[in-house]
């Protein structure tokens, strides 16, 4: 074997010059992508729906460096990984059910598009095989319960489990219950139907129990006390995370931080100190600082906070009137909904800071939970009680983004918001969380969301968003980076006397380029393609499965 003729570190991290698709077996042809790309006709005045807010400080173009080290110039033949696709989810307690129902409809439309275009895609991992999934509870459904909503949801899960939001979006972000959903969809790589199941179980376990009889018992032992609710919430969050992880996993599930080359997760929380309460972004990735010049829009840059997945979920959902605050590394965190119940504006600034330009975002999809009624307790407005924390509302964030798009600050970005609005009366004295006790409330949310999704304008908007997402996924699936994005695959050279035997290569193109540089490997061709594929399979060091977060296959 020859020694290395060039530094291995010189090999690019994206698709290399020897861009071959021998491992795909079924590859996509250029003429098979029949969906039109986003252009001036798709980003039109339909995006300019919002008004009536004073503009906050805008992102300084001169102060934004590309934090990922990539060239952000756009062209007709650009790298399909340059344009970013973001999903932002509002908070809203039980009303988060509406968010999931809207997302489920979107994934249904995506599946229809994926299977209508030639060649049809069997899953969102295509052209790679989709691994099997396992339900948390494997008990069979009885005949009498076969027609129940739970049973029907299970059937829907089996039919649609192969299409995951984390394969269509680069960033999934949320606040409060939207943060919980973002963690399940992105960090835990769950389907929407799995989220619906876990979300319902969580609500019923935390709030669905009957009230204790009116007898004297210590406050800490009451079923509906702050301490009891917090304990039940923490146990449920741990259960959800553990059901998706494995003690033997390479991608340690007890850490919120994850690989930056997969779908990234952002949850909004509030860091509370004796003197102030400020928005704080919990990220699964590193956010490099802007440099010497201070950027007022930058939120806690640096390495991701060293915390577990369940701690991140607790931090974004620690509403003061419902749950105790959570302490992580000596810092106190509260519900992110206190500062930004709609995280869209914060997230758009974050993505632009990470990728160096406002033109880096092609699609920003924002999903609301409907408008909550003004609540009061003992004649005192809860809005007034929370005023020391409150600096942003869903409406303000929505209008802020709309105004900045109108102003031309996001020229390439298609901004779409789905929100059922205030269309049902849930009462003025009940908590958004405690309404889980009421079956009628759940039915109202389902009915209101169904009515909203059956509107022709909403159907058209969902179709447009699905077309964009499918088109971009298919373009990305042609690159070797796709395997890493959906499966977390790394490669390690198996050659004897390798100068870098412990180095992990991000994708198969990088490994083959290394083999050609360092070990005189012949270029892939008809005579050696099977041998090279067998070598690549042996050199894999890790791969995610989707019933357990990750497995070590070395």
Cα 229 to Cα 176, 233, 326, 384, 400: the distances in Å are: 16, 6, 13, 24, 35
Determine which one of 335, 359, 362, 419 is catalytic. Answer: 335
**What is the tens place of the pLDDT at every residue in 426-453?**
443 345 555 555 667 788 889 999 999 9
Cα 5 to Cα 1, 162, 235, 535: the distances in Å are: 12, 43, 55, 22
Segment 345-352 shows an average pLDDT of 92
Q: Look at residue 483 and tell me whether its pLDDT is greater than 60.
A: yes
Q: Has 176 been annotated as catalytic?
A: yes
Q: Look at residue 344 and tell me whether its pLDDT is greater than 70.
A: yes
pLDDT cut 90: percent of the chain above it: 32
- Beta-carbon contacts of residue 454 (< 8 Å; ≥ 6 apart): none
**What is the tens place of the pLDDT at every residue in 274-300?**
667 788 999 999 998 766 555 677 888
Q: Look at residue 197 and tell me whether its pLDDT is greater than 70.
A: yes
Q: Domain 84-128+162-210+217-372+384-480 carries which CATH code? A: 3.40.1090.10
How confident is the model at residue 313, as a pLDDT? 92
239-243, 375-379, 421-425, 479-483 — most confident range: 479-483
How confident is the model at residue 227, as a pLDDT? 82
Q: Look at residue 18 and tell me whether its pLDDT is greater than 50.
A: no
Determine which one of 15, 176, 397, 431 is catalytic. Answer: 176
How confident is the model at residue 467, as a pLDDT? 98
Q: Backbone phi, then psi, for 492, in 5-degree steps?
A: -130, 135
| Residue 376 burial class via C-beta count within 10 angstroms: exposed 0-12, middle 13-18, buried 19 and up | middle
User: What's the alpha-carbon Rg for the chain, to the nearest Å?
Assistant: 24
How confident is the model at residue 104, as a pLDDT? 97
Residue 370: which pLDDT band, with cuts at 50, 70 and 90?
Answer: confident
CA 8 to chain centre: 33
pTM of the predicted model as reported, rounded to 2 decimal places: 0.76
Q: At what angle do helices 309-316 and 226-244 cross, to 10 degrees?
A: 140
**What is the tens place of the pLDDT at every residue in 154-178?**
434 444 568 999 999 999 999 999 9
How confident is the model at residue 547, as a pLDDT? 54
């Amino acid at each position: 074997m020859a020694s290395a003729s060039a530094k291995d570190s010189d090999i690019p991290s994206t698709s290399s010059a020897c861009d071959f698709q021998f491992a795909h077996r079924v590859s996509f042809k250029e003429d098979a992508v029949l969906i039109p790309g986003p252009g001036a006709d798709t980003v039109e005045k339909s995006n300019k729906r919002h008004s009536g807010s004073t503009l906050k400080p805008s992102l300084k173009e001169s102060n934004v460096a590309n934090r990922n080290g990539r060239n952000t110039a756009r062209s007709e033949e650009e790298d399909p990984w340059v344009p970013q696709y973001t999903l932002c989810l509002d908070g809203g307690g039980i009303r988060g059910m509406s968010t999931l129902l809207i997302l489920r409809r979107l994934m249904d439309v995506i599946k229809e598009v994926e299977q209508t275009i030639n060649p049809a895609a069997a899953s969102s991992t295509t052209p790679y095989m989709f691994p099997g999934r396992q339900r948390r509870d494997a008990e069979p459904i009885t005949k009498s319960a076969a027609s129940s909503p739970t049973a029907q949801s299970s059937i829907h899960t089996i039919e649609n489990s192969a299409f995951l939001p984390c394969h269509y979006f680069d960033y999934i972000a949320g606040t409060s219950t939207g943060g919980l959903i973002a963690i399940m969809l992105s960090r835990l790589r769950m389907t929407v139907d799995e989220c619906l199941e876990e979300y319902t179980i969580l609500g019923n376990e935390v709030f669905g129990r009957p009230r204790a009889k009116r007898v004297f018992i210590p406050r800490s032992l009451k079923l509906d006390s702050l301490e009891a609710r917090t304990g039940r919430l923490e146990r449920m969050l741990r259960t959800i995370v553990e059901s998706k992880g494995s003690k033997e996993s390479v991608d340690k599930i007890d850490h919120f931080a994850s690989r930056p080359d997969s779908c990234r997760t952002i949850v909004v929380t509030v860091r509370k100190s004796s003197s102030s309460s400020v928005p704080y972004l919990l990220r699964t990735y590193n956010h490099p600082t802007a440099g010497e010049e201070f950027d007022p829009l930058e939120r806690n840059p640096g390495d991701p906070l060293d915390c577990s997945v369940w701690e991140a979920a607790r931090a974004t959902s620690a509403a003061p009137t419902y749950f105790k605050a959570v302490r992580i590394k000596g810092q106190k965190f509260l519900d992110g909904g206190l500062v930004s119940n709609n995280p869209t504006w914060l997230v758009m600034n974050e993505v632009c800071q990470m990728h160096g330009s406002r033109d880096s975002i092609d699609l920003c999809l924002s999903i609301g939970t409907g408008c909550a009624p003004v609540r009061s307790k003992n004649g005192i407005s809860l809005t007034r009680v929370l005023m020391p924390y409150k600096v942003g509302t869903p409406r303000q964030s929505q209008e802020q983004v709309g105004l900045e798009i109108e102003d031309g600050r996001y020229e390439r970005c298609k901004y779409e918001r789905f929100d059922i609005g205030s269309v049902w009366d849930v009462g003025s004295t009940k908590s958004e969380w405690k309404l889980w006790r009421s079956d009628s409330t759940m039915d109202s949310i389902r009915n209101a969301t169904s009515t909203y999704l059956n509107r022709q304008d909403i159907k058209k908007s969902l179709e447009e968003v699905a077309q964009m997402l499918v088109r971009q996924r298919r373009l990305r699936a042609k690159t070797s980076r796709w395997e890493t994005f959906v499966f977390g695959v790394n490669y390690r050279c198996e050659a004897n006397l390798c100068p870098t035997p412990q180095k992990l290569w991000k994708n198969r193109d990088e490994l083959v380029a290394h083999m050609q540089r360092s070990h005189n490997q012949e270029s892939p061709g008809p005579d050696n393609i099977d041998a090279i594929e067998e070598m690549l399979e042996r050199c894999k060091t890790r791969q995610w499965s989707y019933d357990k977060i990750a497995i070590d296959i070395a």
